[in-house]
Amino acid sequence: MRSLTISAALLAMMGLAVTTFSGCGANDAAVDQSQPIETAVQTDVDPEVAAELAKLPEVDRQLAAAQRICPVADGLLGSMGTPKKLTVEGRDVFICCEGCEEKLRSDPEKYFAKIDNQ
């Protein structure tokens, strides 16, 4: 029964993510950040995103789920493949793709603020 509930939640999350995100870039739709992280993780992630997050070690998977979005592209982590973990100024940050690394490193405080204010 529990796996059926989890499967149903993952299917609902997949549908929302697939219709919302279509790549990395400034014109991507922003993630609805009005929901608490726990709710968003349960309802905003599709099976493909969950599969990408599952490729991370457990501790990183939890950190990425808590962060939810790429601070550069504003897209859901895992929607562009396995999130990339960076350590910038002593802080671990996840981004959606390698294309976001340069921007994050060039103005980390801007992107740290986006993560901290979600």
What pLDDT is attached to residue 44? 52
Calpha distance 53→82 (Å, rounded): 6
pLDDT tens digits for range 41-50: 444 568 999 9
Question: 0.75 cut: is pTM over it?
Answer: no
Instruction: Tell me which residue of 83, 76, 110 sits closest to 98, measured CA to CA.
Output: 83
Q: For the chain, what are the domain ranges?
A: 2-116
Cβ 52 vs Cβ 18: under 8 Å: no
Cβ 48 vs Cβ 102: under 8 Å: no
What pLDDT is attached to residue 8? 40
Q: Which residues contact 30 (CB under 8 A, 6 or more apart)?
A: 69, 74
pLDDT tens digits for range 62-96: 999 999 999 999 999 999 999 999 999 999 999 99
